[in-house]
Chain A
Amino acid sequence: MKAPKAVAILKDNLWANNPIFIQILGICSTLAVTNSLNNTLVMTVGVALTTAFSSLTLSALKDLIPRKVRMIVQVVVISFYVILIDILLRAYLPEASRQLGPYVGLIITNCIIMGRAEAFAQANPPLLSFWDGLTSGLGYMAVLMAIAAVRELLGFGTLFGLRVMPEGFVPWTIMIMAPSAFFLVAMVMWWAKSVQARRQTAGKEAKK
Chain B
Amino acid sequence: MTPLINPVTLFFASIFTSNILLTNFLGTCSFISISKDWKSSFGLGMAVTVVMTITAAVSWLVLEYVIAPLELEYLSFIVFIVVIAAVVQILEMVIDRASPALYMSLGIFLPLITVNCAILGAILFMQIRHYGFVQTVAFGAGSGLGWWLAILLLAAIRERTEKNPVPAGLKGPGITMITIGFMAMAFIGFSGMIAVQ
Contact = CB atoms under 8 A, between A and B. Distances in A.
Given A28-B26, A193-B174, A186 B181 contact: yes
Contacts of B173: 24, 189
Contact of A109 (B22, B75, B120, B125): B120
Question: Contact residue range for chain A?
Answer: 35 or more
A181 interface: yes
B81 A106 contact: no
Contact of B174 (A102, A114, A190): A190
A29 interface: yes
Nearest to B28: A28
Nearest to A84: B74
B190 interface: no
B169 interface: yes
A68 to B, nearest CB: 13
Nearest to A186: B177
A178 interface: yes
A177 B188 contact: yes
A98 to B, nearest CB: 10
B29 interface: yes
A149 interface: no
Interface stretch (A39-47, A73-81, A157-165): A73-81
A203 interface: no
Nearest to A191: B169
B117 interface: yes
Contact of B29 (A24, A102, A182): A24
Contacts of B115: 75, 109, 111, 114
Interface in B132-190: 167-171, 173-175, 177-178, 180-182, 184-185, 188
A111 B29 CA distance: 8
A32 B24 contact: yes
B78 A102 contact: no
Dominant SS among interface residues on chain A: helix
B23 interface: yes
Given A186-B170, A190-B174, A179 B182 contact: yes
A66 B169 CA distance: 42
A27 B85 contact: no
Dominant SS among interface residues on chain B: helix
B117 A110 contact: yes
Nearest to A22: B173
Contacts of B25: 27-29, 31-32, 178, 181
B170 A189 contact: yes
Given A31-B25, A32-B25, A102-B128, A182 B77 contact: no
Contacts of B26: 28-29, 32, 106
B107 interface: no
Contacts of A185: 177
B146 to A, nearest CB: 13
Interface in B48-105: 74-78, 80-81, 85
B177 A80 contact: no
B32 interface: yes
A79 B124 CA distance: 14
A79 B33 CA distance: 25
Given A106-B124, A114-B115, A189-B173, 6 more contacts: A83-B77, A105-B80, A105-B120, A109-B115, A182-B178, A197-B168
Interface of A: 24-29, 31-32, 71-72, 75-76, 79-80, 82-83, 86-87, 101-102, 105-106, 108-111, 114, 174, 177-183, 185-186, 189-194, 197
Interface of B: 22-29, 32-33, 74-78, 80-81, 85, 114-118, 120-121, 124-125, 127-128, 167-171, 173-175, 177-178, 180-182, 184-185, 188
6 contacts: A24-B29, A83-B77, A102-B127, A180-B181, A183-B178, A193-B174
